[in-house]
Amino acid sequence: MSARVSVVLGAGRGIGAATAERLARRGDAVVLVDRAGDDRRLSYSMASTSDLERAQAATRRAAAAAGAGGDGDGDGDGDGDDRVIALRADVTDPAALSSALETAEARFGGIDAIVVTAGVIAGGVPLWEMPHAELRAVIEVDLEAVITAARLGIPALLRRPAPRNGRFIAVASTAASRGLPMLAAYCAAKAGVVGLTRALAAELRGTGITANTVSPGSTDTAILEQSARLYDLPSAAAFAAQQPIERLIRPEEVAAVIAHLAGPDSGAITGADHAVDGGLAI
């Protein structure tokens, strides 16, 4: 049973929720963090408090299924409750995120992996016609929040004594390497995440901490439904045809790659962007 502690930012639904569940299933203690509320700058709903509660419950079930006393409290009941906590915090708010990370460290004695999955999308018009509030939402959530997570989270990873095997992972997108019309701000933010993480990998030389990105293609999430609306498509299913696998990617498939990168056996992998895109970037 792994004794690792993983923090997942943006864990209320989609890839974040799937990642939290996957990490718990392999034995990690997991801290789910989400703002669990809407962003008034955007016209669609974010993950709610109910979504975060459901994600926490699913992650606890996964922890219990992980085996012997999966709750980590040594009583053998395997309910997973003591190994999984959920916190409400806006990842764009340094004070709120700092508090969440401090809670995680106090509860579990340290942090081994930080996974940033929080993201939003907006656009549907040329960049010069995009409302400023939407532009700021995309840059703040998709790029600046990753910067904040690195600035606050990497020191926590470094507080683990050497030799350590800390992991910093951010979810980017195929949009980091492809110019998607009417999504210029989103493309810029995701490209920034990839560049940022490569630089972090260089800065973390010799520390035992790695930094990587994962770039999903069209994945069956609420954000993809919003993308379909921006392109005036009938549903997210319409995006399946653009991928060589001819289907949408499941959040669980992206989570599987993230979980590997967040684990102790991925120490030779750093500074890389990992495509989980069904061939979309070909």
Residue with tokens 């299933």: 25
* CA 126/CA 149 separation, integer angstroms: 30
Q: Which of 167, 6, 159 is nearest to 84 (CA)?
A: 6
Q: Which of 1, 3, 4, 8 is nearest to 169 (CA)?
A: 8
Q: What is the pLDDT of residues 171-213, one digit of tens each?
A: 999 999 999 999 999 999 999 999 999 999 999 999 999 999 9
* b/e per residue 37-74 (b: at least 16 CB within 10 A): eebebbeeebbbeebbeebbebbbbbbbebeebbbbee
Contact 148, 125 (CB under 8 A): no
Calculate the alpha carbon distances from 171 to 30, 40, 196, 274 in Å.
18, 23, 12, 9
Residue 1: the pLDDT is 41
* CA 80/CA 29 separation, integer angstroms: 9
Contact 217, 243 (CB under 8 A): yes
Does pLDDT of 72 surpass 90? no
3-state secondary structure of 162: coil
Residue 147: the pLDDT is 98
Residue 56: the pLDDT is 98
Amino acid identity, position 159 = R
The Cα angle at residue 162 between residues 157 and 167, in degrees rounded to 5:
35
Does pLDDT of 75 surpass 50? no
Q: What is the pLDDT of residues 235-278, one digit of tens each?
A: 999 999 999 999 999 999 999 999 999 999 999 999 999 999 99
233, containing H or E segment: none
Q: What is the pLDDT of residues 11-57, one digit of tens each?
A: 999 999 999 999 999 999 999 999 999 999 999 999 999 999 999 99
Residue 78: the pLDDT is 54
* CA 87/CA 149 separation, integer angstroms: 15
Give burial (CB, 10 Å; 0-12/13-18/19+) of 212: buried
Does pLDDT of 68 surpass 70? no
Does pLDDT of 146 surpass 80? yes
Residue 3: the pLDDT is 80
Catalytically annotated residues: 186
Percent of the chain with pLDDT over 90: 93
Residue with tokens 């959530």: 141
Please provide the average confidence, as pLDDT, over all residues in the chain.
Answer: 94
Domains of the chain: 5-276 (3.40.50.720)
Percent of the chain with pLDDT over 70: 95
